Structure 1
Amino acid sequence: MSAATGFDVRAYMRDPLQLRPTDLDLPALGDLGPAALEALTRLEAAERALLHRMRDFLVTPTHAESRVTAFLTTWAYEQHWLVQTLGAVLAANGRAAGEDRVTALGRLRRARDERLGPLLGAVSSNLLGADVTAAQMITSRLDTEVLADSYRRLGAAEPRLAATTGAAVQLKERHLAFFTAEARARLAAGPGARRLARIAVSRWQWPGTRYVARGTRTRPAAEVRAALLGLDQGSEGGVAALRGPSGTRSVRTALARIGRG
Structure 2
Amino acid sequence: MAFDLDTFAETSEAVTWHDLDFDTFDEYPLDHQTLRTLRYMCDVEYHTSCFLREMLVTPSHREEDAAGFMTMWNREEFWHGEALAAVLARHGIQVDYNELKAKRTKLGWQLALSTMKQSALANLIGSDFVAVHMTWGGANELSAVAAYRRLADMTEHPALSPLLQRISQQETRHVAFYTTQARDRLQDSPRAQGLVRTILEKYWKPVGSGIMSEPEVQHVMGHLFGGRGEELDKLDKRIQRLPGLDGIAMFRSAFTRLGII
TM-score band by shorter chain is 0.7 to 0.9
- Distance, in Å, in 2 between the alignment partners of 1:37 and 1:100 is 21
Provide the residue aligned with 1:167 in structure 2. 166
Where structure 2 has 5 or more consecutive residues not aligned to the other structure, the ranges are none
Provide the residue aligned with 2:146 in structure 1. 149
Offset of 1:195 from its aligned partner? 2.4
SS of alignment partner, residue 210 of structure 1: coil
| Correspondence 1:127 to 2:124 | yes
| Correspondence 1:207 to 2:203 | no
Q: 2:89 aligns with which of 88, 91, 98?
A: 91
Does the CA contact (< 8 Å) of 1:187 and 1:246 recur in 2?
no
Provide the residue aligned with 1:49 in structure 2. 47
SS of alignment partner, residue 245 of structure 1: coil
- Distance, in Å, in 2 between the alignment partners of 1:180 and 1:260 is 26
- Distance, in Å, in 1 between the alignment partners of 2:95 and 2:80 is 13
- TM-score by structure 1 length? 0.84
Offset of 1:35 from its aligned partner? 2.3
Q: 1:70 aligns with which of 40, 46, 68?
A: 68
- Distance, in Å, in 2 between the alignment partners of 1:248 and 1:66 is 31
Offset of 1:59 from its aligned partner? 0.9
Offset of 1:187 from its aligned partner? 1.3
* Cα pair distance change 1:240/1:199, threshold 3 Å: closer
Does the CA contact (< 8 Å) of 1:145 and 1:235 recur in 2?
yes
SS of alignment partner, residue 236 of structure 1: helix
- TM-score by structure 2 length? 0.84
Provide the residue aligned with 2:36 in structure 1. 38
1:148-190 residue CA offsets vs partner (Å, 9 max, x unmatched): 1111111112222121011011101111111111111111231
Provide the residue aligned with 2:80 in structure 1. 82
1:118-160 residue CA offsets vs partner (Å, 9 max, x unmatched): 1221111111111001111111111111111111111112222
1:59-93 residue CA offsets vs partner (Å, 9 max, x unmatched): 10011100111111111111111111111111111
- Distance, in Å, in 1 between the alignment partners of 2:59 and 2:164 is 34
Name the Cα RMSD after superposition. 2.6
1:87-109 residue CA offsets vs partner (Å, 9 max, x unmatched): 1111111113386887x9x7676
Provide the residue aligned with 1:19 in structure 2. 15
Does the CA contact (< 8 Å) of 2:131 and 2:185 recur in 1?
yes
The one-letter amino acid of 2:53's match is R
- Distance, in Å, in 2 between the alignment partners of 1:189 and 1:55 is 29
Offset of 1:245 from its aligned partner? 2.2
How many pairs does the alignment contain?
Answer: 250
* Cα pair distance change 1:90/1:204, threshold 3 Å: same
Does the CA contact (< 8 Å) of 1:20 and 1:84 recur in 2?
no
